[in-house]
Structure formats: C-alpha cells, structure tokens
Structure 1
Amino acid sequence: MMHNVEMIKTVALLTILLPFIGAAITMSAPKSLAKVLAPCFSGAAVIGAVTLALWYKDSGFAQVNLPVFSSHATLLFGLVFDGASSLVAMAVTVVGGLTCLYSSGYMSADNREHAEHAKPCYYAFLLCFIGAMVGLVLSSTILGQLLFLQIIGACAWGLIGYKQTASALKTALRALLITHLSSLGLVFAAVVLYLHTGSFELNALSQLPMDVKTAVFIGIVIAAWGNSAQVPLHAWLPNALEVPTPVSAFLDAAAMVKVGVYLFARAIISGGDIPQVIGVIGVIIAMVTLVYGFIMYLPQKDLKRLLIYSTITQLAYIFLACSLSIFGSRLALQSGVMYIFNHAFAKSLFFLVAGAASFSCGTRLLPNLKGIIKRQPLIAIGFGVAAMAITGVPPFNGFFSKFPLFVSGFELSRAHSWLTPVMVIALIESVASFGWILYWFGNTVVGEPSEEVASSAPLPLAMKFTLIVLIVMSLCSSLIASSWLS
C-alpha cells in the first residue's frame, strides 16, 4: 500500500512538473518543432491526470491527502485526491492538450483571419498554464493554491498580451492587476487560517470559529470573484478579444476563469459548517452577474464576444450552485463541481468552433456565417452541439449540470423562501438564453451560404480531430462526472 501511495505521489508531481519541463524545452525549440513538442508534453499530463483519476476510483472514491513538503512540522504543500480534484484535473489537462493540438493547425499561414505561425513562447505559456492549473487543483494547502495562482496569473498575462499590440498589452495588464489584487483575499485567508490553527491545510478551515471562518471565506470569495470574472471584478475578461481563439477556449473554458469557482468549491468541501451569510452573499453576486452577462451578450454579433459574456453568465451558475450548497444541499455542491467539468468541454467546443469559422471563412461575425452547414458541416454540427450543451438541452452535458442545480435550489426554497424568486430568475435566463442561441443558430447555420462561407477553406486535420473529440465529450462528460461524484 505504501509503495502504491508513493507511486501515485510521483505520478501527481510529474503531472504538475512535466508541462513546465516541456515549456522550458519548447522555448528553445524552433517554431516547426514547438508545435509538435507542446501536444506531446500536454498529452503526458493528460495520461498522468487520467491515471490519478482511475487510482482514486480504484481506491473506492475515498478522499486521500498526501504530504509533499513541510517546514518545522507545518505542511506547506500537499496533494488532495477526491471527486472534485480528480475531475477538474482531467478537464484541465484534456482541454489543455486539445488546445495545444488545435493550435498546431490554427496558428498557421493558412488562417484567413490572421495568418501567423505561433512563436515558441505561445506554446510555453500554454504548457506552464496547464502545469500550474493541475498544481492548484491538486493542492491540499492554501499556500500551494497561492503559489500556483500567481503562476496562472503570469501565464494569463503572457497569453492575453501575446500579440504585443497596444490594446492587447493594455488588456493583459488589466487582467493581471484585477486578478492579482483580488488574490490578496486569498493571502488574507491564508494568514488568518495560520494564525488561528497553525496550519495552511485547507481541512483546517473546519477548525475555525464561525466569526473567523466568515472573514476567511470572504477573503476566499473575493479571490474567487476576481479570477472568475464576476461582477464587479469582471472588467478584465470582456476586452480580451485579441487573444488567439485557442487561448480563449482554454482561459474561458477550463483554466483561468475556473480558478475562482474551484477555489470556492474546494473551500466549501474542506470547511465543514460554513456561515450562511457567505451563501447569501454568494447568491446575490451570482444573480447580479448572471443577469448582467445575459443582458450584455444579447446585442453581440461577434461570436467570440458573445461567448465571453456567456462564460461570465455560466460561471455565475457555478457560483450559485456552490453558494446554495452552504444552506445544506449536497446536491447543489455536486452540481457545481459537475458544472465545472461539463462546461469545460462544451464552452471550449464553442470557442474552437468560433476559431474554426474565422480560420476557414475569415470572420467571426454571426451575420456573415450564414449557410455554414452546406460548406463546413463539422463547424455547423459543433455550433449546434455546443449551443445545446451550454444552454442545458438534454441529452447534452449542460442539462446534467443545470437540472440538479434547479432541483436543489427549489428544494431549499421551501425552508428559505427568498430563494424562490432567485431560482425563477435563473430559470427564465436559462430558457431565454436557449431561445437567443437558437435564434442565431437559425440565422447562421442554415440557409444559402454567405460570400465568406461560400469561399471558405478546409480545416486542418488537427482542428477537425479536436472538434470531434469535444463534440463527443459534450455528450459523454456528464457520465464520467456522475460516476465520480455519486
């Protein structure tokens, strides 16, 4: 048993470190080799994450904490394996690996929107991002989360500002400032936790008195809002349009914006009884963000900008689920974790569909993509699947995230009547967003091809393969998540 545990610890550390090693090698490689190395190293991380998840399953789905580095009997960094960490680690590595593979075809001279080959630093930042995300997700200490959160912020800054234009650099700096300043909430939480328990372990949250726990959770929530672009700390995300679309898929679906909701979910899992005031605050901000995001994506005609505001709204649903769990609903927490996992595949598919349209047709503007099903059926199918998955249409994965959220919310409203209008508003938004996406589907996918679509170019094999995998995962990921969280 001890040998098995040490082997798993080694696999986990390699899953974290291999992307960083790959980034160092990729940085010194020529462009033609960098796009081959990045998928290889990200693929190794996928194998590691899947191995860890299967080990967790074979161990009987029991949470396991493994120490890694201590100083003077204080654990500074450790590893946690449970349903949430194993699922999110798989999502991060799989979407990250697919992003690297997709980029090898997308970032080329054949791209009709912006023809360019990716510099080695592009792939290096992506690999570091994957490694840091896995490190944060598997960390059992708040200090470990802080370390990897800073690396994630630096990688996001490098990728958002990749094009080195004035607007890209301005947006990157805004993202860095907002996410890092909000992360001071996590610093505050770490200091208070250590002063009261002598430990940085997340499980020590359950030992805090309720008044102190309230203060610590407020710090965690502030860090979560900033990194997951929730109102009022959302301003860095909507302007990140110049980011290469594969990066948008990774940042907005599986990586950067998922940091905040994961930090919140992990704290709830570890925190024992949590003051209900945190749940009230969480629900209020989630609903404000949900309504704001919906209103803002209504007038958008640029598919990428629409998806960015849609992402803000979807993250609000995850915050809503996690906040509802504080009132005693285990189903709500399961819904939130499942939402993180399922949304990673559905939203990355939608972003990469937008990238495929711009690559092939030279535009992301929805009115200019009319009739795409006749010339680019894979893009059209991807659009339809992503739209139905995001808006929660069965049998796609989004339905299995949203349905338990609404069930738990309406169940809790029996004891907390103020939650009834909250859930009604959320339900109205869900139905309205489906109607709006369906409207654009009818006005974009079907009909006679527009000029841009009629002259569209074929997609590279790497891009086609990525879209097919994500289409399949948008159907199947909920089966994986439900078995891990049951």
Structure 2
Amino acid sequence: MDIIALLTIFVPFLGAIITVLVPRQAAKWVCQLFAALASLGTLILAAAFFNSGETSVTYQLVMFSQTEVFGLTIDKVSTLIAVAVVVLGLLVSIYSLGYMTEGNREHPHEGLPRYYAFLLIFIGAMAGLVLSSTILGQLLFFEITGACSWSLIGYYQKPTSLKAALKALLVTHVASIGLFVAAAFVFKETGTFSLSALASLSVETKTIVFLGIMMAAWGKSAQLPLHVWLPDAMNAPTPVSAYLHAASMVKVGVYIFARAIMSGGDIPEVIGVIGVTGAMITLIYGFIMYLPQTDMKRLLAYSTITQLAYIFLALSLSVFGSDLAFEGGVTYIFNHAFAKSLFFLVAGALSYTCGTRMLPALRGIVKKSPLLAVGFCVAALAITGVPPFNGFFSKFPLFAAGFNLSSEHSWLMPVMILALVESVASFGWILYWFGKTVVGEPSEAVATAKPLPRSMSAVLIILIIMSFCSSFIASNWLS
C-alpha cells in the first residue's frame, strides 16, 4: 500500500512537469491523463486497505537518525478524504476542458499549460497532506498548496486577481506559523515529528500544540479572523474556485485538526471550548455576510466559511468525548466537498452560457437549461441539510451529538439552538434566490444562453448523483 500511496502523490507532480513541456494544445490532455491516474491510485489504495481487513497502518519512509521526518498513514479517514480530494480534482480538470475555452461568454480564454500544471500539483499536494503521518509532512504539503493557490487565484493576471492571490498566500502563510510552532514543541518533547506522538505530550505542551494546529487550520479553512482571503479569491477561474474553495484547500484546515484529534488521545477541554466559540462566531458572521451578496460566487464564498464553521463545531464537540460528533465532522468534510463543488460549477456554467453570474440578472433558468436548474436545486438543498441529500447526513449527527453533550455541558444548549436557527435561516435565504433565479420567464441573459459543452454537463451530472450518494459511501466506509 505504501508504493500505491507514493505513486498517487507523485504521479500528479510528474504530470505537471510534462504538462509544461508538451505543446500547448496537448497540456490539457496530459492533465486529464495524470489526474485520472492519481484518481485510480486512490481507488486502488482504498480497495487494498479494505482487502487488508481495514487495519490502520503507518509507514515510516524518511528517517533522520531516530527521528521520523515523513511517513504515510493509511486508515479509514485518510483513504476516504484522499478519494474525495483527488477524484474531485479529476472532475474539475474534465470540467475545465469546456470552461477554459474561447466559447466561455464571461471569460473567453484557452487554458494555458500553467493552469493545468498547477492544478495537477495541487492534486498531488492534497494527496500528500491527507496521507502524511507527520506534522513535518503536513507542513510541507500545506505550503505547496499555498503556493499553488497563489498561482491559480491570480491566474488571469489582472490587478484584482493578483491582489487576491497575494492576500491568500500571506494569510495562509502567516497561519502556517502555528504548524511550525506545533512541530517544534512536539519534537522538543518527544524527539519525533510523528502525529502519533501527540498522545504522549504533557497537558501543557498538548494545549500549545493544539492551539498552533488550530491557528493553521483557521487560516486554511477561512475562519475568523483569518477568513479575509476567501471572498477575494473568487477572482480565480470558477473550476479553481470549485476545487480550492470547496473540495481541497479549505479542507486542509479541518483535516489537519481532525487528524490531530484522532492522534491526540485525551485532549484538554479548553481546546474544545475555543473551537466551539470560534466556530460559532464564524458561523454567525458568515451568514450575515452572505445575505447582501448578489455575485453568486461571493455568496458561495461566505456560505463556505459558514459550512466550514459547522465542521469545526463538530470536531470541537468531539473533544468532549463524542465519537458521533467526530464521525459527523469527517462525513461533513466528504459530503460538503461534492455539494459545494456542484454549486460552484453551476455558477461557472451560468457564467459560461449566460455571460454573468450576477443573481439579479438570472431568471427562468429552468426553461432554458433544466440541468442547471436541477444542479442549482440539488446543491442548495444539499448544503443547507435537507433530506435525502448528503448535507442532512452531515448535520444530523452534529446536532444529535451537540444536544446530547448539552446534558453534561449546559452551555452547549444555546450554542446548538443558535446553530439550528442559522441552518434554517440559510435554507430560507438560498430558497429565496432559487425562486428568483430558477423559475419564471427567462431574463435576457438566460434567454440568450448558449449550450453547455458535454464535458461540463457530464461533471454536473456526476456531482448531482454524488450529492445523493456520498453520505452513504462515507457512513458505510467509516463504520
């Protein structure tokens, strides 16, 4: 399994090198090939793990004296999330075949080799981070994703894009200081960088280490006060927004926090209190901020900040001893990646066909493009937690765990009630925009819409299906 995992990580990096060496018209096809190979690698890895009896295993690959510098962890969580981030990378690359062309009404532009090269590097870095067994390995791939995000967010080379890219790079790089501090304290006390060493730390050191990890996690996952980069990052091409800001980059933070909780043994409750408090402040802020948005991508950006706050809430609740909350948080990472990617790619499809993603200019989508109407509806219901869509099976265990814990920690009761109110209110607001944009007579922009390329339509159909099915995949896999 270690060979399969290493190939899954390094194949996209090899593909990126080849992408910039081949003729420009061949670059996009090289990207498809190597993204497909990486996706196949994650599926084979998951199958091998299942056939081995689902026994978690860690491989120590790079040692310096007696210190583990880099290794791989193969378990239920890492294989599940690796499949999500890599396969979604493949879907985004396929979608880009149609989107990054001269036929795009909003951004008529043929994708350059560097677009596909950095997309492949990002896929490889995400696989490496998810499978890494050491803090140092996480830190390496953490920084690689930051560099890739800088390039992809600033891809169009406009002043606003370049400014947004620099902001994303600086904020997430500053946040990475927390991971540096965590790695230093772990090494000082245990002589290793292995995540498994977290359980043996003293209470004081463990608190410092978890605070450092949380700082890094807040930066990548756009939680207050380190959220400022995400809304501006919507200047990136929409496939990039879907991948970085729904499926991969923003999931780095919640994943490293989840992995630390898995490895940390008994975690000081102060970490749970800080996590819950930060999540609730971010959740309320994100909801308030997406109310006035009329740009569909900026609305989805603030919605993403809110949804990530739910994941932090679930993971923080697990610190108080709730396995249900932890499993709900991991399932949320998996499910949200598919549902929010669908929503972003629907926004991209509207930009492609109608020439705009401004919600007031869109009306009567269902009459002109039933597929986009269905995609909009499914994505909206999924991220707001309406059954039988995958978001419901993420939120239900979160609320069940939270209300159950409130019998021992009474202060959690108002927290959970407030979160429930936000969930209902967000459903109402998304439903409002659904009624304004999907039904009715087509507006001028919608009436003149052009057909979607088959590559974009195929990806939307797959994500619609996954918005129904992903929760069953996750629950069966984790159980």
The TM-score range, normalised by the shorter chain, is over 0.9
Q: 2:149 aligns with which of 153, 156, 164?
A: 156
Q: After superposition, give the CA deviation of every residue in 1:99-157 in whole Å (9 maximum; x if it has no partner).
A: 01100110000000110001100000000000000000000000100111111110000
Equivalences for residues 24-173 of structure 1 within 5 A: 24-173=17-166
Is structure 2 residue 247 aligned with structure 1 residue 254?
A: yes
Q: Is the 8 A contact 1:15 1:49 kept in 2?
A: yes
Query: What residue in structure 1 maps to residue 197 of structure 2?
Result: 204
* Counterpart code for 1:422: V
TM-score (norm 2): 0.99
Query: What residue in structure 2 maps to residue 367 of structure 1?
Result: 360
Equivalences for residues 443-454 of structure 1 within 5 A: 443-454=436-447
Gaps of 5+ in 2: none
Q: Pick which of 85-94 and 25-34 moved more.
A: 25-34
CA distance in 2, matches of 1:21, 1:290: 39
Q: Is the 8 A contact 1:57 1:484 kept in 2?
A: no
Q: Pick which of 83-92 and 325-334 moved more.
A: 83-92
Q: 2:400 aligns with which of 404, 407, 427?
A: 407
Query: What residue in structure 1 maps to residue 312 of structure 2?
Result: 319
Q: CA deviation at 1:253?
A: 1.0
Query: What residue in structure 2 maps to residue 472 of structure 1?
Result: 465
* Counterpart code for 2:85: V
CA distance in 1, matches of 2:245, 2:71: 27
CA distance in 1, matches of 2:376, 2:22: 35
Equivalences for residues 266-305 of structure 1 within 5 A: 266-305=259-298
Gaps of 5+ in 1: 1-7
In structure 1, the residue corresponding to 2:71 is in which secondary structure? Answer: strand
* Counterpart code for 1:60: G
* Counterpart code for 2:67: T
Query: What residue in structure 2 maps to residue 14 of structure 1?
Result: 7
Query: What residue in structure 2 maps to residue 4 of structure 1?
Result: none
Q: Pick which of 169-178 and 58-67 moved more.
A: 58-67
CA distance in 2, matches of 1:253, 1:51: 24
Q: Is the 8 A contact 1:196 1:208 kept in 2?
A: yes
Q: CA deviation at 1:34?
A: 1.1
CA distance in 2, matches of 1:288, 1:61: 38
Query: What residue in structure 2 maps to residue 219 of structure 1?
Result: 212
Q: After superposition, give the CA deviation of every residue in 1:295-335 in whole Å (9 maximum; x if it has no partner).
A: 00011111111000000000000000000000000000000
Is structure 2 residue 348 aligned with structure 1 residue 358?
A: no
CA distance in 2, matches of 1:223, 1:314: 18
Q: CA deviation at 1:227?
A: 0.8
Q: After superposition, give the CA deviation of every residue in 1:392-434 in whole Å (9 maximum; x if it has no partner).
A: 1111100100000000000000000000000001000000101
CA distance in 1, matches of 2:412, 2:430: 27
Q: CA deviation at 1:54?
A: 1.6
Q: Is the 8 A contact 1:193 1:205 kept in 2?
A: yes
Q: Pick which of 60-69 and 373-382 moved more.
A: 60-69
CA distance in 2, matches of 1:310, 1:321: 17
Q: CA deviation at 1:59?
A: 2.3
Q: 2:427 aligns with which of 418, 429, 434?
A: 434
Could you tell me the percent identity over the aligned residues? 64
Q: 1:392 aligns with which of 364, 385, 398?
A: 385
CA distance in 2, matches of 1:242, 1:199: 41
Q: CA deviation at 1:366?
A: 1.2
In structure 1, the residue corresponding to 2:452 is in which secondary structure? Answer: coil
CA distance in 1, matches of 2:11, 2:467: 27
CA distance in 2, matches of 1:295, 1:313: 10
Query: What residue in structure 1 maps to residue 334 of structure 2?
Result: 341
CA distance in 2, matches of 1:167, 1:438: 31
Q: After superposition, give the CA deviation of every residue in 1:348-405 in whole Å (9 maximum; x if it has no partner).
A: 0000000000100001011222101111111111000000110011111001000000
CA distance in 2, matches of 1:61, 1:315: 28
CA distance in 2, matches of 1:249, 1:14: 25
Q: After superposition, give the CA deviation of every residue in 1:263-307 in whole Å (9 maximum; x if it has no partner).
A: 100000000000000000000000000000000001111111100
CA distance in 2, matches of 1:40, 1:386: 28
CA distance in 1, matches of 2:351, 2:77: 35
* Counterpart code for 1:239: D
CA distance in 2, matches of 1:292, 1:181: 22
CA RMSD of aligned residues (A): 0.7
In structure 2, the residue corresponding to 1:241 is in which secondary structure? Answer: helix
CA distance in 2, matches of 1:92, 1:257: 11
CA distance in 2, matches of 1:119, 1:273: 49
* Counterpart code for 1:469: I
Q: Is the 8 A contact 1:79 1:138 kept in 2?
A: yes
In structure 2, the residue corresponding to 1:66 is in which secondary structure? Answer: strand
Deviating runs (4+, > 4 A) in structure 1? none
* Counterpart code for 2:23: P
CA distance in 1, matches of 2:112, 2:355: 21
In structure 2, the residue corresponding to 1:78 is in which secondary structure? Answer: strand
Q: Is the 8 A contact 1:31 1:117 kept in 2?
A: no
Query: What residue in structure 2 maps to residue 3 of structure 1?
Result: none
Q: Pick which of 168-177 and 115-124 moved more.
A: 168-177
Aligned residues: 479
In structure 2, the residue corresponding to 1:76 is in which secondary structure? Answer: strand
Q: CA deviation at 1:96?
A: 0.5
CA distance in 1, matches of 2:176, 2:396: 32
CA distance in 2, matches of 1:68, 1:377: 50
* Counterpart code for 2:32: P
Query: What residue in structure 1 maps to residue 224 of structure 2?
Result: 231
Q: CA deviation at 1:10?
A: 0.9
* Counterpart code for 1:105: G
* Counterpart code for 1:281: I
Q: CA deviation at 1:197?
A: 0.5
